[in-house]
Amino acid sequence: MGAICLVNLVFMFIVPLAVASKENGKSSLSTYIVHLKKPKGVFAQAVDLDGWYRSFLPVTIPGQRTRMVFSYRNVVTGFAAKLTAEEAEAMKRKEGIKSVWPEKVYSLHTTHSPDFMGLQQSLGFWNQSNYGRGVIIGVLDTGITPGHPSFSDEGMPPQPAKWKGKCEFEGGCNNKLIGARSFVEGEVGPPADEEGHGTHTASTAGGNFVKGANVFGNANGTASGMAPLAHLAMYKVCGAGCSESAILAAMDAAVEDGVDVLSLSLGGGSIPFYMDSIALGAFTAIQKGVFVSCSTGNEGPSYGTLSNEAPWILTVGASTIDRSIAAVPKLGNGLTFDGESLYQPNDFPSTLLPLVYSGANGKAASAFCAPGSLKDVDVKGKVVLCERGGDIGRIDKGQEVKDNGGAAMILMNDKLNGFSTIADPHVLPATHVGYETGLSIRKYINSTINATATIIFKGTVLGKQTAPEVTSFSSRGPSLQSFGILKPDIIGPGVSILAAWPVSVENKTNTNSTFNMISGTSMSCPHLSGIAALLKSSHPDWSPAAIKSAIMTTASLVNLGGNPIVDETNTTADIFATGAGHVNPSKANDPGLIYDIQPDDYIPYLCGLNYTDEEVGTIVQQTVNCSSESIIAEAELNYPSFSILLAESGGSQTYTRTVMNVGPASSSYTYEVFVPTGVDVSVKPEEIVFTEVNQKQTYSVTFSRQKNISLPFSQGLLKWVSAQHDVNTPIVAIFE
C-alpha cells in the first residue's frame, strides 16, 4: 500500500499495563492476555474449560495467590493471568498457545438531546419503537448509581425471560437496572460509580423520564435516555484506567447474560483487530446478534486519531446540539461575543471591570493561567483573559484566577480548537470563547490603556441554527487499520450533555444537583447505543449490520439552518470528521434499503488485510484458511459507504454492493452521484427495481482517478432515490 498523502496523521499508542519490573533480578507478576487455539468439541461445563485453561499456568506453591485473573468462555478462547515476563515468553512456546501479550490500559472518552433529534413523547419514532421496551443495553464503564431517579423502574416492563445476568448491589436491582457487576481487579463490593462517567453514559442510553432535571438551574426540563423503556445492565471495568482483561471479561459475561446492545465509551487508539480486545469481543457479540457501539476517542481534530475502527463496530464521533448555556463577554468598546459557562451567577455586576491579558508579562505559564503563574500578576478585581492549553484543565485555570483575586475569567481557545466551546461548571464567573474571539479581545486590550469588560449571563438558549457542529476533540479518520472502510461511521450529540450523576454534584457555589453536563465522544456513543436499542425494538429481525446501515444511510448532512455541517474552523466539516453524517433516528426507522453483512462475510475481508490464518481465526473464533477464501479488497465489503485508494498510475476500480428492500414491496430506485473532485464515477444499473420486501439487488460502481490531482482526498455521495426514500452512501477517494 502506498503512502497516504494526509497531513498530520497522528498515531495513538496504547501503553501496556503489564510492564514487568525487576525486583532482586526477578520479574514481578503482571497481567497478560493469553489466546488459545480453539479445541475440537465443546466443554460441557464452564469448570471443564476453566480447568483446561489452568493446565497452561505455571505451577504455584501452596499459599500463593491464584494466577488466573479472568477465564473467557464466549468472546474469545483464552484467559487473563498473572505471569512474569519470563513465564509469558515460555508460555508462547507451549502447544495450543496462539498469542500472549501484556494487557493494555484503555481510557474513557470523556435532556434536550432527544428533542434535538426529533424524539418526542407519545409521537413518532419513540412511539413506534415502544421506547425501546424489552431491549437490554449493556454498558461497560465506571459503574452506576442505582438509586438515581433516572434508573427508577416506574412504568417499566418486567425483565426479559432471556436475561441471565447478576446484580451485585446489596439492595438488588429493579426492572430498569436489571444487572450490575464489577470486573475491576482488587475491588471489593458492588459496581458503585465513584467517577460519575458510567452513571452519565447509562442514563444517556436508557435512562427513565425525570422531570425537573437541570444543572445548577440551567437546561431545565424532563431528562431521559434515548431508549427510556429499555433495560440497563452495568459492567464496571474502569477503576484506575480500564484494563483490557476486565473489558474482555465484561464483554464475555454480557454476551452470555443476554444483552442486545453493548455500549463502550472507552478505547485505546489504533491497533490491529486481532490484538484489539474490544474488536475481538465485539465480533463474537455481533455473531450472536448483539449490536456494538463505541466512541471514536477525544484526540481530534488531527487526522488518523480514531479508536474502535473495526467495521463490525459502530464508531461514533461527537457533535453539538442547538442548546448553549450563554455567557456573553461585553467589552468596553461595546462589542459582544458568543461564549458559554455552566456557572451562571445571578449577582455578577453588569458594570464594566478592568480587563487584562494574563500573558502580558511574556510568560507562557501566565498566558495559560497555570497554577502559581499569576501570583505576581495584578489580576485582583479584574476580568482576566486566559489561553486554553498547556495541559491545564479549563476549570483549573479559573481556580488560579480566583486564588489571586480575579473577578472573572474569559477563556480563549487555541487555534486547534477554533470555534468549539464547552459549558463548564467554572469556579468563578467565566466564559469560554472561540479562538478568533480571543484574538479580537486581545486586540482590544492592546488598543487601550483602560480596557474593560463584563460578562452577561443569559442562561439556557435554544435554537442555534449552526447545530450540529463537529467539535474539535472528536477523533478523525481515516482508519489506520483499514483505509478501505470509512470511519467514523456517524456523529451524535457529545458536547455539554446533561445526564444523571452520582447523587450529588457540587461546584464551588455550594449548589447541589443530581445531574451533570459533560462532554466527550463518551457522551455521543450512548446516544447511538440507545437509538440502536429503539431500532432493535422496532425491527427485532434486523442484524447488527442492518441497524448500522439504517443509521448511516439516513444521516443528516446539513445543520438546522439547512447548510452543510461545520467543524471547529467554522467551515464545512470533511468526511473524516462526520462519517456518514449526523444521526437522524426517525429516518433510520424507515431507511428503504439496507446494506447487510453476515459475520462470515468478514472472513474474506480480513484475509484481504493480509492477516495470517491464525490472526483471522483469533477474530472469528474458528479455523480459517485464507488460501481457500475468495479474498476481497477492503472496499469490497458490503459496507454502507465507499472508501477507495486511488494511485496516480492505477487503473479504474469497480466495487459492488448488495442492498435489501425494507420499504414498500413494489419500489424502484434511481441514482444521483455527487462526484468527488478528481474522480470519474460510473454506476450500473441506472435503476434497481424491487417487487418484494427483503428482496436483494446488486449494483456496481467504477471509480477512476483523473490526471494531475494534488489533493490528499476528496469526498462525494451516491444517493439512491425512490418515491419515498433517499438512501445515502458516502464516498471518499484517498489519493496515493
Enumerate the active-site residues: 141, 197, 522
Q: Say how far apart CA 610 and CA 186 lie, in whole Å.
A: 39
Q: Say how far apart CA 497 and CA 581 lie, in whole Å.
A: 19
Q: Say how far apart CA 374 and CA 387 lie, in whole Å.
A: 13
The grid cell for 116 is 434535538
Three-state SS at 439: helix
Residues 75, 264: contact at Cβ < 8 Å?
no
Residues 12, 299: contact at Cβ < 8 Å?
yes
Three-state SS at 545: helix
Q: Say how far apart CA 611 and CA 634 lie, in whole Å.
A: 12
Q: Say how far apart CA 357 and CA 352 lie, in whole Å.
A: 16
Residues 731, 642: contact at Cβ < 8 Å?
yes
Which residues have C-beta within 8 Å of that of residue 519, sequence separation ≥ 6? 110, 318, 422, 471, 473, 494, 495, 496, 497
Pairing of strands 291-295, 261-264: parallel
The grid cell for 637 is 465489503
CA 578 to chain centre: 13
Residue bearing cell 458516502? 730
Q: Say how far apart CA 89 and CA 70 lie, in whole Å.
A: 20
**DSSP E strands: which ranges in 546-686?**
593-594, 642-646, 653-661, 667-674, 679-684
Q: Is the dihedral of CA 162, 166, 172, 174 positive or negative?
A: negative
Q: Say how far apart CA 325 and CA 459 lie, in whole Å.
A: 5
Eight-state DSSP code of residue 152: -
Eight-state DSSP code of residue 596: -
